[in-house]
Amino acid sequence: MTDFPLFGLSLPFILKRVPQNINVLVLCFLLLAASCKTEYSRISKDPDMQKKLEFAHKYYKEKEFEKAMVLFDQVSAFITGQKEQEEIQFYIAYCNYNMGNYDLASYLFKSYHENYPSSKNAEECYYMYAYSHYISSQGSELDPTNNYKAIEELQSFINIYPDSKHVEESNKCIDKLRSIMATKAYNNAKLYYKIEDYKAAIVAIRNAIKAWPDIEQREEMEYLVVKSYYLLALNSAEYSEEDGKIKKIKLERYQSMIEAYLLFKEIYKESNYMDELISYYNKTQKEIKKLS
Q: What is the pLDDT of residues 125-158, one digit of tens each?
A: 999 999 999 998 876 555 678 889 999 999 999 9
Q: Are 144 and 157 in contact (CB under 8 A)?
A: no
pLDDT at position 141: 57
Strands (E), the chain: 5-6, 9-10, 240-242, 245-247
Q: Are 101 and 66 in contact (CB under 8 A)?
A: no
pLDDT at position 3: 45
Q: Are 221 and 204 in contact (CB under 8 A)?
A: no
Bridge partners, residue 245, by sequence: 242
DSSP type of residue 63: T
Average pLDDT in the chain: 85
60-165 and 188-292 share one CATH topology?
yes
pLDDT at position 11: 45
Q: Give one DSSP letter per residue of 86-134, joined into a string.
A: HHHHHHHHHHHHHTT-HHHHHHHHHHHHHH-TTSTTHHHHHHHHHHHHH
Separation between Cα atoms, residue 179 and residue 212, nearest integer Å: 9
Domain boundaries, the chain: 1-45, 60-165, 188-292
pLDDT at position 27: 47
Kindly state the average pLDDT of the residues 116-122: 94
Separation between Cα atoms, residue 147 and residue 214, nearest integer Å: 18
Bridge partners, residue 9, by sequence: 6
The model's pLDDT over 4-24, given as tens digits with 9 standing for 90+, comes to: 444 444 445 444 554 554 455
Kindly state the average pLDDT of the residues 233-237: 84
The model's pLDDT over 166-221, given as tens digits with 9 standing for 90+, comes to: 999 999 999 999 998 999 899 999 999 999 999 999 999 999 999 999 999 999 99
Domain 60-165 has CATH 3.40.50.720: no
pLDDT band, very low/low/confident/very high, at 46 (cuts 50, 70, 90): confident
Distances (CA, A) of 112 to 90, 115, 226: 7, 5, 53
Separation between Cα atoms, residue 181 and residue 187, nearest integer Å: 10
Separation between Cα atoms, residue 192 and residue 206, nearest integer Å: 12
Q: Up-side HSE of residue 9: CA atoms within 13 Å toward CB?
A: 10
Kindly state the average pLDDT of the residues 19-35: 50
Nearest CA-CA partner of 236 in 255, 261, 264? 255
Class of the 188-292 domain? mainly alpha
pLDDT at position 143: 66
Separation between Cα atoms, residue 163 and residue 62, nearest integer Å: 32
Is the pTM higher than 0.75? The answer reads no
Distances (CA, A) of 184 to 132, 143, 152, 159: 22, 11, 19, 27
Longest Cα separation, the chain: 104
Distances (CA, A) of 137 to 106, 160, 216, 264: 12, 22, 22, 35
pLDDT at position 38: 80
pLDDT at position 144: 75
3-state secondary structure of 11: helix
The more confidently predicted of residues 77 and 258 is 258
172: left (phi over 0), alpha (psi -120 to 50) or beta: alpha
Q: Are 55 and 45 in contact (CB under 8 A)?
A: no
